Homo-oligomer: A and B are copies of this chain.
Amino acid sequence: MKKYEIVIIGGGPAGLTCALSAKNTYPDKKIVLIRKEMKPMIPCGIPYVFHTLEEVSDNVLPDTPLNANNIEIINNEATDRKDHTLILADNTEIKFEKLIIATGSKAVMPKIEGADKENVFLVKKYKEYLKIMKSRIQEANKIVILGGGYIGVEVADELIKEKKDVTVIEMMDSLLQSMDNEFGEKVKEILINQGGKVITGKSVQKILGDAKVNGVELNDNTTIDCDLLIVSVGYKPNLDLAEKFGLNFEEGKGIMVDSYLRTSVKDIFAIGDCAAKYDFFTGEFSNIMLASTAMAEGRLVGSNLYSIKVIRQYPGVLGSFSTKIGKTAFAVSGIIEKRAKDRLLDYTVGVANAVDRHPGKLPGASEVTVKLIFSTYSHTLMGAQISGGDSVGEMINIMSVMILNKMTDTDINNLQIGTHPLLTASPVVYPIINATTDAIKKWYKNQNK
């Protein structure tokens, strides 16, 4: 029987980060990472294997940090557990002191007639699956993408650039439902300007074709022809091991964990997409699955395996993400307006537009839009949305740090921010500050009513 002190199951970002964090905190412990895949994918890089990256293998999550830190890798599948012993698919037994489950999530196939036809693909995370999918895409011409969330629109953007005839179908009334509709409308416009087609507010009721897909039938009974269908309607926590290991879990929500990601069984932790998540603002279950959250959990658990050294700093999932469609970047952190409305949070909105170089004649300038949601009474920043040039990818993190620190409108209004003509908006129009000023003006106006 093999013996390790720390055993991690799952080779994605959560498992990798947890392994590295554990090594930093407990340098003398023997650590192993067990994973099914020989070559795990970078999850958020997957859409880019279809056009921007030449090969699927260009998107492999490198083993370099694991090797450099003497963390062993076993390519195998965990199938069962007896107390502090893990059993692998080949019946190898592995003894552990601490076990971390980081088995991620699975792409969801909705119940639609014909979903089993050839050339119907999910956006799965496996290299060999993606290689087949890429070669079929290359042979195809007309492609339908079912689901206009961020993965759906990223794949659409790639396939349009690959010169395919692409139609995105989204059930809701706008694309990119994780942002407010005005941002989803921009995404739609970009996809259409690039030659794509977008259908919103309609669902697919049937996948057509004989052995192979040749079209989809919408809920208004119209049909759209296609040679290939990509279904991207969401992911659900992978709970296979939770059941086998006797851990508390909730279907569709994840393995139950406390604030330190400890499961119902002593010495077993769950992190990343497979662990249940709670919303930062309301404490409800959250179905947001992001590598950034997974890795924050991985780092926390890696530091706290034998005792709680690091007090948990985040009281829930903030949900910070960014993407780029065409030449425009989009990003969100915290609550969006439609959710604030739905969950009955009193809010004041501030909006600002600016050019992200100054003077605007400087090269590389893009128009940036910032939308902020403040708590009307508490004045704290609750959410931020932004579209613009590439620097949006880091601007959203400024606002994540603001939300996490419960900064108020006046805190932000007095901020000392670094700006530079060639790199940022002018300090006069710096959009995070100006959107805050806009919210303050609205607040004053409402007070005087």
Q: Which residues of A contact B (CB under 8 A)?
A: 13, 16-17, 21, 24-25, 42, 44-45, 48, 52-54, 58-61, 65, 290-293, 295-296, 299-300, 303, 310-314, 317-318, 320-324, 329, 331, 333, 358-359, 361-364, 390-398, 400-402, 404-405, 407, 410-411, 413-424, 426-429, 433, 437, 440-441, 444
Chain B residues with CB under 8 A of A313: 410-411, 414-415
Q: Which residue of B lies closest to A299 (CB)?
A: B413
A400 to B395, CA, bound (A): 12
Assess the A416–B293 pair: CB atoms within 8 A.
Answer: yes
Residues of B contacting A420 with CB < 8 Å? 44, 321-324, 329, 331, 393
- 22 A-B pairs within 8 Å (CB atoms) are namely A21-B437, A24-B437, A44-B419, A44-B420, A45-B358, A52-B363, A65-B429, A292-B417, A292-B419, A295-B427, A303-B410, A311-B410, A312-B414, A314-B414, A322-B424, A390-B422, A392-B423, A393-B418, A395-B397, A400-B417, A401-B415, A404-B416
Complex contacts, A314 vs chain B, CB 8 Å: 414-416
Is the CB–CB distance between B393 and A390 below 8 Å? no
Q: Which residues of B contact A401 (CB under 8 A)?
A: 398, 401-402, 405, 407, 415
Question: Contact: B419 with A322, CB < 8 Å?
Answer: yes
Could you tell me if B397 and A417 are in contact, using CB atoms closer than 8 angstroms?
Answer: yes
* A311: nearest chain-B partner, CB-CB: B410
| Nearest B residue (CB) for A329 | B423
Q: Which residues of B contact A416 (CB under 8 A)?
A: 290, 292-293, 296, 314, 317-318, 320, 400, 404
State how many angstroms separate the Cβ of A199 from the closest Cβ of chain B.
26
Distance in Å from the Cβ of A320 to the closest Cβ of chain B? 3
Query: Of B53, B397, B407, which one neighbours A418 at CB under 8 angstroms?
Result: B397
- Cα distance A395–B421 when bound, in Å? 15
User: Which residues of B lie under 8 Å from residue A391 when comparing CB positions?
Assistant: 390-391, 393-394
Whole-angstrom CA separation of A65 from B437 in the bound complex: 14
Residues of B within 8 Å of A419, CB to CB, are 44, 291-292, 322, 393
CA of A416 to CA of B401 in the docked complex: distance in angstroms?
8
Contact A362/B421 with A295-B428, A296-B416, A427-B292 known, Cβ cut-off 8 Å: no
**Which of A45, A418, A421, A424 has the most B CB atoms < 10 Å from its CB?**
A418
Q: How far is the CA of A398 from the CA of B424 in the complex (A)?
A: 13
Contact (Cβ within 8 A) A413 B303: yes
A397 & B398 in contact (Cβ 8 Å cutoff): yes
**Alpha-carbon distance A446/B220, docked complex (angstroms):** 68
Contact (Cβ within 8 A) A322 B423: yes
In the complex, the chain B residue whose C-beta lies closest to that of A293 is: B416
Indicate the member of A24, A329, A401 with the most B CB atoms within 10 Å: A401
Nearest residue (CB) in B for A448 is B27
Shortest CB-to-CB span from A422 to chain B, Å, is: 4
The residue of chain B having its C-beta at the shortest distance from the C-beta of A399 within the complex is B401
For the complex of A and B, the 10 pairs showing the least CB-CB separation, nearest first, are A393-B423, A320-B418, A394-B394, A405-B405, A322-B420, A313-B414, A324-B422, A393-B424, A45-B421, A391-B394
Instruction: Please name the residue on chain B nearest to A408 by beta carbon.
Output: B313
Our pick among B295, B322, B418 for the contact of A292 (Cβ within 8 Å) is: B418
How far apart sit A25 and B296, CA to CA, in the bound complex (Å)? 40
CB pair B414–A299 under 8 Å, yes or no, is yes
